[in-house]
Structure 1
Amino acid sequence: MRSGAIMAVGTLASRVTGFLRTAMLVAALGVGALADAYNTANTVPFIVYDLLLGGVLTAVVVPLIVRARERDPEYGARYEQRLFTLAVLGLAVITAIAVLLGPVFIGIYGGSMRGAQRDLAVLFARLFAVQIFFLGVSAFSGAILNTRKRFAAPMWAPVLNNIVICLTAAVFLLVSTGKVTPETITTFEVALLAGGTIGGMALQTLALWPSLRGSGFRWRPRLDFRKGELGQMGRMAVWTLAYVVITQVGFAVTTRLANSAGVRGRAQHLGDVGYTPYFNAYQLFQLPYAIIGVSVITALLPRMSEHAAAGRMAEVRDDFSAGLRLCSVVILPAAGLMGVLASDITTVLFAHGQTSVANAQVIAQVLQMFAVALVPFAAYQLMLRVFYAMQDTRTPTFISVAVVATSITAALIVYNTLAPQHIIVGIAGGFALAQTVGALVGWAILRRRLGGMDGRRIAVTYLKLIIALWPLIGFGYAVHAVVEAGLGAGLLPGILALAVGSAGGGALYLVFAKLLRVPEVQTMVSTVSARLPGGRRG
């Protein structure tokens, strides 16, 4: 919990500045054709990274390094050097190939993009591909730091990236005049957006090196792998890569359909209802999970790996149960607040510059649907880490088939049956259904593997938290309704409803959780209080 609290504070700072970054980009680029081109192209580096390295880091590298260091500290240090060297060389090659394949990526993810919008998206995709190298080195450095129980730097480094992007968006607003479109954007404006985006990722990577050196890591390039090392990593990585490929197929379909919905919506004069509103809602949806879920999972993974390596499956089960219950303390009320205050959240964050209140309401509708997915999404992600701790990357791959099939099927149905302005909301609903399927299937399999899931204690905690959640939902809904009826929609009413609704609803939730004697809430409050100025540490 202490490790999770350190990361949660850093993640909170990262996500708050990330929201500011998103809001600044929305103000500068809007949510129309220009924003769709930028966001689709800027998603490509992360897709390529996830396909070829991201899943391997989480599922393979961390458990392997932990086990190598347990076997022999000196051997573990040399093993780190070999893996890091291999990653740097591989990233350089992958980045060069991705630059050449820019048009292919936009053809896959760009949907119905044509003309100037497609040309701009291809240019951005080629330029943004450089981020793959920095993203991979940053992630690998963070993985090494996590195995050394140094969690703060990887959570704080993205703040620098966000600040650079915010400054870039601010300068873009100052130098641009009128509404900028793919047809009217200048070479300088393209260079400004590309330079700021790439520069932010480079700074995020460089910021990790002082912490790496402080942990005792010194990179000395070496590729003298011992017999069997690459084979062991390869056997685990094959299934992980298969998992990532399957999930990216689902992402490609939903992204393409969302972009096509945006093109159809603009053609029918229905407004901006494409990928960018969906993208922005997804960023908001991930905040609670990123603050507490990622923090708890990252802190638990090395420990679960150690317990699994020693065959202590009961302790792995206890780690999972504790992690899920702690996550739920924040995840459940966050989902409730998203559901009742979505329009206030999106108005406050996005209704500025080239983005209207009506545009913000589109994002709010998608966010409300995503709120339904928050609890099963967090549970499913934690279950995946249990499989990875046991060095099982095959089972998550098979589970992902059911998840992605559900998501794609739902997305295709809504695309072919709903009006353009409702498609991205329906796609978000399909995502929620798919995450629920993943959580149920994962639970059933792990229950057999771990000899149980501590289900009774988890169920009791969830029941108490759900009871405590209803006063929050009622209060938040009442505040939103009163403010909207009296002051209408806008920035100031949104701020008022958001401040009063979240503060009052949160206080009611904590009071009822305490009355119901939910120990995880007390653990969370005590840990946070101990880290505040003047708090007791014990």
Structure 2
Amino acid sequence: MSLFKSASIVSGLTLVSRITGLMRELLIASTFGASALTDAFNVAFRIPNLFRRLFAEGAFSQAFVPVLAASRQQHGDEATHVLVNQVATLLIWALLLTSVLGVAGAPLLVWAMASGLKQSPEGFEVAVVMTRFMFPYIAFMSLVALAAGVLNTWKRFAVPAATPVLLNVAMIAAAWWGGPWFGTLGVPPIYALAVGVMLGGVAQLSVQLLALRRLGMLPRVGLSWRAVREAWGAEGPKRILQLMAPALLGVSVAQISLLINTQIASQLAPGSVSWLSYADRLMEFPTALLGVALGVVLMPQLSAAKAANDTAKYSDMLDWGLRLVVVLALPCALALLVFSKALVAVLYNYGAFSAHDVQQTTLALMGYGVGLLGLVAVKVLAPGFYASQDIRTPVRIAVAVLVITQLFNVALVPFLAHAGLALSIGLGALVNAAWLLWGLRKNGTYVMSAGWTRFVLQVLVACAVLGAWLCWSAQYWDWTALHATPLLRVGLMTGVLAVSALLYFATLTITGLKLRALLRR
């Protein structure tokens, strides 16, 4: 299977996930708006997600996938299955302990994440209750990350890419039916979302385990102390733990940045955490469809190329990934900058989500849009280091970028409030991507192929045409005032985006860019 076909499968299924995720956010926005209680849910949901990104999808995946791919390349499937058994044994025991500590320490975690919620005592208490209920979600998602690492290494990309849909469906059902039912019981309806999160976690893990069983790679978990000791002393888990140490520091930097930003947002006007969350959901569309899909596909392939010492293939795959980032992420970034209000109004401006919420979310989305190219590029550039089992370099860069991002916060938040937080993240992502690219070129891992100057100019010409069309469309219609005619507004948005895609790709073709050849590369 070609890299583009693999990336297309992941991207297509991720699109379904993002669409259902957007439906989820739209329903939450129209039902609950942006208030102290929605801030409480967003904070409570971020806490297990923070640990999930820290350990499961972060340090663990970055260390596990290269070792797993190298083991399969060098020792075969049977030995790799033993490695999976050992890792699963250690992971489950670690997750049990973490979940117990997280539930017990929920008040401290909420205070550390968003002490500003104490401005609304009810909001703080609701956040604590939901954190206690949802914290075990990290256990489900960490095991999902292990299963996804195995499936992706075996080039079974569909199931890991599709399972996030189950979380969104569970939360949509919880908001649609659970919220009103909780209200009749005298329980705050917002609690229904926490129930939906846990049901979604169970569903995702169940599907992944079935896929592993069909593959013949279902892990056999050792429940005895002897099994834990044997797994702890094995070479494979030791190597993963060695790689996890610097990876954990690197991922911690990103999560510390998130923690600081959430803490700052909780001190701003009520609704600030929610405005940033709604904008983040829109920004995740291109980030996931392009960056995550490419990263998921490239990581095991780069690891295998490195294990085979095929440096030419290694560099060529990175070059292909970066070209796709430029040709697809740059127009998306432009749309977030010049067409953001229309996007927010059409998608969120219903029910309890007011025109004021539209304006505040738009400002945050524009801040993210500034750094979208960097946010997507990092997903391709970082695996260039991880596949070589060089985690220290991106960690050092991440630490420096954390400091730079917080300096941006100091300069921007007093003037731009929550939008300053989003802009700081965007600017930091651009610095991060540029630094990673410089590092890959400096150590000789990545050699740019010929034709980049012409390629970039072709993309910029197409973006200029696209930008002119989007600017006119943003000004010609009052997207917020069209609130009274939602079907017309959705129809206009669909037409504008369809014309945008047609203009952009037609201009690329006219300039001579052979897009089909790029995709087949």
TM-score (norm 2): 0.92
Q: Name the residue aligned to 2:212.
A: 212
State the secondary structure of the residue aligned to 1:66. Answer: helix
Q: Name the residue aligned to 1:126.
A: 132
Shift, 1:451, TM fit: 5.4
CA distance in 2, matches of 1:452, 1:349: 40
Contact 2:130 2:191 survives alignment (8 Å): no
Q: In the alignment, is residue 249 of structure 1 matched against residue 240 of structure 2?
A: no
Shift, 1:188, TM fit: 6.0
Q: Name the residue aligned to 1:294.
A: 292
Distance 1:372 1:62, change over 3 A: same
Question: After the TM superposition, which segments of 4 or more aligned residues of structure 1 sit over 4 Å from their partners?
Answer: 175-178, 485-490, 521-524
Q: In the alignment, is residue 138 of structure 1 matched against residue 127 of structure 2?
A: no
1:423-502 alignment, distance < 5 Å: 423-450=417-444, 452-454=446-448, 456-484=450-478, 491-492=486-487, 494-502=489-497
Distance 1:116 1:138, change over 3 A: same
Q: Name the residue aligned to 1:506.
A: 501
1:216-295 alignment, distance < 5 Å: 216-222=216-222, 223=227, 224-225=230-231, 227-263=234-270, 272=271, 274-295=272-293
Report the more deviating stretch, 505-514 or 355-364. Answer: 355-364
Shift, 1:488, TM fit: 5.3
Q: Name the residue aligned to 2:166.
A: 160
Q: In the alignment, is residue 337 of structure 1 matched against residue 335 of structure 2?
A: yes
Report the more deviating stretch, 61-70 or 207-216. Answer: 207-216
CA distance in 2, matches of 1:486, 1:48: 37
Q: Which amino acid aligns with 2:171?
A: I
1:404-423 alignment, distance < 5 Å: 404-415=402-413, 417-418=414-415, 422-423=416-417
Q: Name the residue aligned to 1:397.
A: 395
Shift, 1:492, TM fit: 4.7
CA distance in 2, matches of 1:382, 1:348: 31
CA distance in 2, matches of 1:496, 1:128: 38
State the secondary structure of the residue aligned to 1:262. Answer: coil
Shift, 1:324, TM fit: 1.2
Distance 1:383 1:519, change over 3 A: same
Shift, 1:515, TM fit: 1.3
Q: In the alignment, is residue 48 of structure 1 matched against residue 60 of structure 2?
A: no
Distance 1:249 1:455, change over 3 A: farther
Contact 2:290 2:325 survives alignment (8 Å): yes
Q: Name the residue aligned to 1:516.
A: 511
Q: Which amino acid aligns with 1:328?
A: V
Q: Which amino acid aligns with 1:167?
A: A
Percent of aligned pairs with the same amino acid: 23
Uncovered stretches (5+) of structure 1, i.e. residues with no partner: 179-184, 264-271, 528-538
Contact 1:333 1:506 survives alignment (8 Å): no
CA distance in 1, matches of 2:155, 2:465: 39
Report the more deviating stretch, 219-228 or 92-101. Answer: 219-228
Give the one of 112, 116, 127 matched to 1:112.
116
State the secondary structure of the residue aligned to 1:345. Answer: helix
Distance 1:97 1:194, change over 3 A: same
Report the more deviating stretch, 350-359 or 444-453. Answer: 444-453
Report the more deviating stretch, 329-338 or 483-492. Answer: 483-492
CA distance in 2, matches of 1:65, 1:4: 20
Report the more deviating stretch, 504-513 or 446-455. Answer: 446-455
TM-score (norm 1): 0.89
Uncovered stretches (5+) of structure 2, i.e. residues with no partner: none
Report the more deviating stretch, 163-172 or 36-45. Answer: 163-172
- When the two chains are superposed, the root-mean-square deviation of aligned CA atoms in Å is 2.2
CA distance in 2, matches of 1:209, 1:151: 14
Shift, 1:315, TM fit: 2.1
State the secondary structure of the residue aligned to 2:371. Answer: helix
